[in-house]
Amino acid sequence: MKKGDLIELEITDYAFEGKGISKIIKDYQQIDTGSQKKFVIFVENTYPGDRVIAQINKIKKSYAEAKVKQLIVKSSNRINPLCKHYGICGGCKQQDLDYQIQLKYKEQQVKDIFERIGGFSNLNIEPIIPSEKIFFYRNKMEFSFASKRWLTEDEISSMQDVKDKNFALGLHIPNFYDKVLDIKECYLQSHISNKILNLTRDFFKNKNVTIYSTETHIGFLRNLVIKQSSYTNEIMVNIVTSEENEDLMFQYKDTLVSAIPEITTIVNNINKKKSQVALGDYEIILYGKGYIFDYIGNYKFRISANSFFQTNTLQAEKLYQTALSFANLKGTEIIYDLYSGAGTIPIFISGKAKEIYGFENVNSAIEDAKVNLELNSVTNFQPVLCDLNKSFIPLIREKKIPKPDVIIADPPRSGMNPKTVKDILQLRPEKIIYISCNPATQARDLKLICEKDYKLVKMQPVDMFPHTYHIENVALLVK
């Protein structure tokens, strides 16, 4: 087998991150057992039941990777994708897979990852919680401007001069930081957000406004971020630019509000950095209050342009309720919430605990948490600015914060810093609730914790992002 070879494969299993698995017999014998060894090939965009002609694009000692050149037999679990951008856009990679089967594979992936990476066995995994909505479930969409529009195969093969190839507003093509697919419709947020997207494109395109380039550090337009409340129906439009242009922005504001009166606030974030992030060094409020409100359960939260809020509001309530159920609080507990953000989890559980301390390293998130405290008249939660990439025990001693009975952690995809894991073991809470959007780093961290004095009791997968391979997982550990 060589790179570039074409090979016919039957897909029998499914791997994390959306790759089908085929196993073949290699042409050699294992010396130790004399038995034939199966060689694994991971094939992008395939599902069990598919038979494909695949082209090998990477070869390692124990596995290879390949991409589909021809789909010979389709899996019975395949369906027709709803979106016309499917297969090009990197967003909904499982939109052509029956949703019930998506859930089955996600639940299985959590089990496989914890067995393989964490070394766990006899796992107690509750049935995955499905999403109520499988389309239009996101409360936030982030689009990028680009001066290099992704051209379709038809456009390239036509050999004609392609119009409008130097202006795009949409989503990045996977593995191409400088190329953007011009999106006309997306089924992740709402019909109104699509209207905002297309109106924004037309407005700036007709005025020949320049697009920012990280290579030259020149150009004006950078990002369009749309946030939409699930419960109050408020809508925020955040246009991210490299500099100020008051006249142009107020023309844009007037055009938007006139065409889409449902919009409640418009913000212009000014990002002068080279980094490709839709965050500004500062912001200018063009219309409305500069923020919107949403609810998780009975609790109200203020959402600003740069604050974090769970992207699937309806599922966030189920996720937090799972964490609360796992904690089984009596009302007398001291709780630490690590990576507490704008305080959504502490406020959600505030009625069931004695005291809650939320540790967070982003100052703006701490300020949002303080606002949300007042909004909900919560008096037993204290946000604490803290760098969780360092040991936080000295800070606890300095501020004389009592030791926790329960620790809740919801870290980023990269998981917890080893120093944080060490601190948790030193604090020795009775229970640890670990929420993660990446079961691989979660399994890695929990392996370290369970090597000491803790036992993994049960887990609950929650599907926050239908049609993607992403999966949220809640784990309960007891001392």
- Predicted confidence (pLDDT) per residue in 327-337, tens digit: 999 999 999 99
Domain spanning 140-296: CATH 3.30.360.10: no
Mean pLDDT of 185-208: 95
pLDDT recorded at residue 17? 74
At 325, give phi and psi (nearest 5°): -65, -45
| pLDDT class of 33 with cuts at 50, 70, 90 | very low
Lookup: tokens for 79: 């369906």
399 backbone φψ class: left, alpha, beta (φ>0; ψ -120 to 50): alpha
pLDDT recorded at residue 203? 97
Mean pLDDT of 230-245: 95
Q: Are 365 and 308 in contact (CB under 8 A)?
A: yes
d(CA 476, CA 406): 11
At 365, give phi and psi (nearest 5°): -70, -35
pLDDT recorded at residue 229? 95
pLDDT recorded at residue 36? 57
Q: Are 39 and 11 in contact (CB under 8 A)?
A: no
- Point out which residues pair with 211 in neighbouring strands: 221
Mean pLDDT of the chain: 91
Domain boundaries 6-78, corresponding CATH code: 2.40.50.140
> Which ranges of 207-285 does DSSP label H, i.e. alpha helix?
246-259
| pLDDT class of 28 with cuts at 50, 70, 90 | very low
Percent with pLDDT over 90 in the chain: 77
Q: Give the residue from 316, 368, 329, 340 showing the smallest Cα distance to 472.
A: 316
How much is the CA Rg of the chain, to the nearest whole Å?
25
Poorest-pLDDT segment among 76-85, 128-137, 301-310, 403-412:
301-310
Q: Which residue has the tokens 């990197």?
A: 90
Residue 128: DSSP 8-state? P
d(CA 166, CA 447): 49
- Point out which residues pair with 89 in neighbouring strands: 86
- Tell me: the pLDDT tens digits for 289-308? 999 999 999 999 999 888 88
Domain boundaries, the chain: 6-78, 112-133+312-478, 140-296
- Is pLDDT above 50 for 29? no
Mean pLDDT of 189-196: 95
| pLDDT class of 201 with cuts at 50, 70, 90 | very high
Positions marked active-site: 437
Strand ranges, E, within 86-187: 140-146, 168-172, 180-182
- Tell me: the pLDDT tens digits for 6-15? 999 999 999 8
Q: Which residues contact 396 (CB under 8 A, 6 or more apart)?
A: 403
| pLDDT class of 379 with cuts at 50, 70, 90 | very high
d(CA 140, CA 117): 32
CA distances to 346, 363, 366, 468 from 385, in Å: 15, 7, 7, 33
Q: Kindly report whether the global pTM for this prediction surpasses the value 0.85.
A: yes
Confirm whether 6-78 and 140-296 share one CATH topology.
yes
pLDDT recorded at residue 27? 53
Q: Which residues contact 133 (CB under 8 A, 6 or more apart)?
A: 314, 466
Poorest-pLDDT segment among 2-11, 158-167, 168-177, 211-220:
158-167
Q: Give the residue from 339, 337, 283, 285 showing the smallest Cα distance to 306.
A: 283
Topology classification of domain 112-133+312-478:
Rossmann fold (3.40.50)
- Is pLDDT above 70 for 475? yes
Q: Which residues contact 318 (CB under 8 A, 6 or more apart)?
A: 129, 462
Q: Which residues contact 324 (CB under 8 A, 6 or more apart)?
A: 348, 349, 352
- Is pLDDT above 80 for 159? no
- Tell me: the pLDDT tens digits for 85-143? 888 887 888 999 999 999 999 999 999 999 999 999 999 999 999 999 999 999 999 99
